[in-house]
Amino acid sequence: MIKKAVEVALNEQINAEFKSAYLYLSMSAYFQATGLSGCANWMRVQYQEELAHATRFFDYLNERGGKVKLSPITEVQVDFSGIVDVFEKTLEHEQVVTAMIDHLMDISIQESDHATKSFLQWFVDEQVEEEANVGQILNNLTLIKGEGQGLLMMDREMQNRVFVNPFAPKA
């Protein structure tokens, strides 16, 4: 049976992951409305990743005998001042998620919950990758000043991103 402090923290993370998905879907809609279909695709893949993360936390908590408690998703931002603004907010958001995962890891260590600590290691590593990827996009946007032919090239490149569920059963 999972300890109460870990259960509470995992429920917070499940709900945060669902809210992250909602935020990225909002960003995808913003990009679609502004004609940046590649960026819209990139954010749609982010949305799918966050749903997969939420579901994995959901399944893990159930596997450990905990009780999942879903909360309402609060409203997310829908208006942005441009592509740089969206990706700056994306990086800020990923940094918040990283802090939450770190906090979860701290709780699992304090509670001597080695199974949860092992489970969370994948998410710790994932957050390093998430922040690095968004940071690289922001660096590229800075180089092209978020406009012109460079933006069109980035948008086309982002169209190629596809969702691969890291938790899908291996065939």
Which tens digits make up the pLDDT trace of 118-144?
A: 999 999 999 999 999 999 999 999 999
> How many C-beta atoms lie closer than 10 Å to residue 26's C-beta?
18
pTM metric for this prediction: 0.94
Parse the chain into domains and list their residue ranges. Answer: 4-158
Phi, psi of 111 (to 5 degrees): -90, 5
Architecture in CATH for domain 4-158: Up-down Bundle (1.20)
Which tens digits make up the pLDDT trace of 43-95?
A: 999 999 999 999 999 999 999 999 999 999 999 999 999 999 999 999 999 99
Three state DSSP letters for 137-159: HHHHHHHCCCCHHHHHHHHHHHC
